[in-house]
Amino acid sequence: MRSSLHDLLPPTVRRALAKFGQDLARARRKRRLTIAMMAERMGVGANTYSRLERGDPSVAMGAYAMALFVLGFGGALGELADVRRDDLGLQLDEAHLPKRVRVKKTPTAR
């Protein structure tokens, strides 16, 4: 049964999750791991892992993170929304910079 979350997701996000799941499946097979082996190493059931490979959006983010870790991609998750690579965020920061900087005068102590 499909969750209502699936129906709410934009098509581009659904496609990205499906591709991510396919990429995880391909990486698992390259490492000669079965679904049961992956599920055991991740601490989830085989059914949950199978849903992950299908890109099911109702699978917890932690399960996706653990799959990346087991496959040797543990650091990749931390780079996804890195502020240094956020071009739009950097542009917005630049747009909010003040035109001038003034030093506030502090009252002198007598």
Tens-place pLDDT, residues 7-33: 889 999 999 999 999 999 999 999 999
Q: How many helices (H) and strands (E) does the chain have?
A: 7, 0
Give me the pLDDT at residue 56, please.
95
User: Is pLDDT at 73 greater than 60 in this prediction?
Assistant: yes
Domains and CATH numbers, the chain: 4-75 (1.10.260.40)
Tens-place pLDDT, residues 91-107: 888 888 888 888 888 87
Rounded to the nearest angstrom, the gap between the alpha carbon of residue 19 and the centroid of all alpha carbons in its chain is 13
Q: What is the DSSP letter of 109?
A: P
Tens-place pLDDT, residues 34-59: 999 999 999 999 999 999 999 999 99
User: Is pLDDT at 2 greater than 60 in this prediction?
Assistant: no
Q: Which tokens go with 6?
A: 């699936």
